[in-house]
Amino acid sequence: MNLLPRAFSKNQHTALWIDMENNLIHIDAASSKRAEDALALLRKSLGSLPVVPLAFANEPSTILTNWILQDNLPHWLLALEEAELRGSQEDSVIRCKKQPLENEEILALLQDGKKVVSKLALEWEDTLTFVFNEDCTIKRLKFADTVREKNDDILKEDFAQRFDADFVLMTGILAKLTENLLDEFGGEKARL
């Protein structure tokens, strides 16, 4: 009995954007494996593609920690009530959710140097919210309702036109966010 014709196929859609201006590739993927799979397919199509994950010149966890300790986030960012604090040993983690980050206990842990901020939920210019990780990845990206409604004049049935409009809107916003983050974290780390 041949079951192959009855097998269900699994389709995946992973959007990726090549930012020629900043020499970056942005991948809309929930996991690093899925992002790597998208890059592997791109490599296979192009023949080669030497890429490395984005790394900032200044240590992200140090800057994130200073933002909370000194309450000096850039004017274009707002810290939300969610963070992850990591100790010097990788197994020591404290997750804070729906917790004011100026809480005395949190500040005491950071001031003593026992913990650093390894993840921080942020809002950028009333446009989007996201969680910034110390490995320079951005997770749980969510655009504000005002942004999502900008293309409501395009019919949802016109999938191609709606996708193009949404993608142009999204890439414009993400390009500005990337530029802000690169400036704040001292630019891109020099590659060896």
The reply to whether 42 and 97 lie within a common domain is no
In a domain, 136, yes or no: yes
Residue 124 has φ and ψ, to the nearest 5°, of -110, 115
**pLDDT at position 4, please?**
61
The reply to whether 92 and 180 lie within a common domain is yes
The reply to whether 28 and 92 lie within a common domain is no
**pLDDT at position 164, please?**
92
**pLDDT at position 90, please?**
67
The reply to whether 45 and 77 lie within a common domain is no
CA dihedral 21, 24, 30, 31 (to 10 degrees): 180
Q: Calculate Rg over the CA atoms of the chain.
A: 20
The reply to whether 178 and 122 lie within a common domain is yes
**pLDDT at position 94, please?**
93
In a domain, 63, yes or no: yes
In a domain, 6, yes or no: no
The reply to whether 38 and 102 lie within a common domain is no
Distance CA 126, CA 123 (A): 6
What is the tally of structural domains in the chain? 2
The reply to whether 62 and 154 lie within a common domain is yes
**pLDDT at position 13, please?**
86
**pLDDT at position 9, please?**
76
Beta-strand (E) ranges in the chain?
A: 15-19, 24-28, 77-87, 93-97, 115-124, 128-133, 138-143
The reply to whether 66 and 114 lie within a common domain is yes
The reply to whether 131 and 66 lie within a common domain is yes
**pLDDT at position 5, please?**
64
The reply to whether 62 and 45 lie within a common domain is no
Last residue of one domain, picked from the residues 6, 31, 51: 51
Specify the amino acid at residue 138.
I
- Which residues, given as ranges, of the chain have pLDDT below 50? none
**pLDDT at position 108, please?**
92
What is the span of the domain harbouring residue 19?
A: 14-51
**pLDDT at position 121, please?**
98
**pLDDT at position 8, please?**
75
pLDDT in tens, 157-187: 898 999 899 999 999 999 999 999 999 999 9
In a domain, 89, yes or no: yes
Pairing, β 128-133 against β 115-124: antiparallel
**pLDDT at position 92, please?**
86
Q: What pTM was estimated for this model as a whole?
A: 0.87
